Amino acid sequence: MNKINGFMLTSLALSCLTACSDNNESTNHKVTNNPNQLVEKTHASMNHAEMAAHQENSDAHSSSSITNITGDYISRPADDLPPPINRHEPQLVKVDLYTEELVAEMMPEVTYQYWTYNGKVPAPFIRAREGDTVEIHLRHGKPNVTGSSHETHESAQHAKAGHSTHSIDLHAVVAPGGGAPLMQVKDGEEKSFQFKASRPGIYVYHCASPHIPTHIANGMYGLILVEPAAGLAKVDREFYVMQGEFYTSGKFGAKGLQALDKKKLLAEQPEYFLFNGRVNALTGEKALKAKVGERIRLFVGVGGHIASNFHIIGAVFDSLYAQGAITNPPLKNVQTTVIAAGSAVMIEFSIDVPGKYLLVDHSLSRAIDKGALAELVVEDK
Ligand SMILES: [Cu+2]
């Protein structure tokens, strides 16, 4: 057994590919009983047949061949999060993540090569309970995909594109790099580690591979909630929203495939400020929906590099758990909250008057001109 940075490494057999929620099973996993151990394994996850298919199709792996996905594919719906935890004992929570680079619409006629966890922005919402052992599996590349739909390309192309390695740094992990030193995965590799969810809160996680700001700017971020052991108050609705900014080569709305403009990234001058990765990701049919009087809980994070001035036009945050500190007493009756880059908040409120309420970054040109706008539609009971 190796020791790295004080954490013991053992091997795991890797198998499951389920969603990021409660999971009682630990089948095929040799899990240590000490939850403070970080567990890691590397393996080339393509078998020979898959590798052969990959090679045969390698001619098609030029950057121009990456599938264009039209429509609203990239954005994760705001109600896509695991349900509240309803148990009183700690358990093992297994999380399966893979990385995927894919070209998708940022708005109609504007496309961008996103780098993602599990194909969406933001990444899966991870939900655990204080005291749980969380086991993160991270695979570089979509599992069980070969042939023309295989988004990944050859190693050299990965390297040239700057995504030869991906990883994960979870702010809920109290260990060097948030786990990232153990979790650098190259094309086709998979690694895993365990940590004890010891600090309740709502935390950001993100890719931490060079050049880190580029990986984050391309969409590699999500939230992990560690519920307090006693649980959270019961509410009627929960939603998952993350703000991130995008540094496209063309101006906001410029048509066609947009490259990342690194100069704009370094200058912190994005063209887009977006909720869940796309213009109008959370409006119209995809708006947040609730009924008058219902208790609504929002988890809102900033995955990007620029803090949000988060506000809901026409609403007041009855309870704001600022800076991810969900076990502190909330601030009451708050109009707008700053959400730092790499932070998140929990907001609880209800609405008395039916209608449409706009979620915005109150640096309002970001909302009106650069995309940072979502809708909450509240209907009569
Ligand atoms: Cu990455």
pLDDT digits (tens, 9 = 90+) for 196-217: 999 999 999 999 999 999 999 9
Distance (angstroms) between ligand 1 centre and the Cα of 5 equals 22
Which SS3 state, helix, strand or coil, does residue 248 take? strand
Domain residue limits, the chain: 2-227, 237-379
Tell me what the mean pLDDT of segment 51-72 comes to: 45
Distance (angstroms) between ligand 1 centre and the Cα of 157 equals 15
Distance (angstroms) between ligand 1 centre and the Cα of 236 equals 35
Q: From its phi and psi, is residue 253 left (phi > 0), alpha (psi between -120 and 50) or beta? A: left
pLDDT of residue 72: 82
Distance (angstroms) between ligand 1 centre and the Cα of 163 equals 6
Distance (angstroms) between ligand 1 centre and the Cα of 291 equals 39
Q: From its phi and psi, is residue 147 left (phi > 0), alpha (psi between -120 and 50) or beta? A: left
Quote the DSSP letter at residue 212: H
H or E element in which residue 320 lies:
strand 317-321
Query: What angle is formed at CA 341 by the lines to CA 278 and CA 248, rounded to 5 degrees?
Result: 40
In angstroms, rounded to a whole number, what is the distance separating the alpha carbons of residues 56 and 348? Answer: 53
- Residue 158 pLDDT level (bands cut at 50, 70, 90): confident
pLDDT of residue 297: 98
pLDDT of residue 68: 65
Distance (angstroms) between ligand 1 centre and the Cα of 259 equals 16
Least confident of 137-151, 295-309, 353-367: 137-151
Q: For the chain, give the number of residues.
A: 381
Distance (angstroms) between ligand 1 centre and the Cα of 374 equals 27
Distance (angstroms) between ligand 1 centre and the Cα of 283 equals 28
Amino acid at 129: R
Q: Which of 288, 300, 376 is nearest to 336 (CA)?
A: 300
Distance (angstroms) between ligand 1 centre and the Cα of 107 equals 23
Tell me the CATH number of domain 237-379, given options 3.30.750.200, 2.60.40.420, 3.30.1300.10, 2.30.38.10: 2.60.40.420
Q: 2-227 maps to which CATH number? A: 2.60.40.420
pTM: 0.83
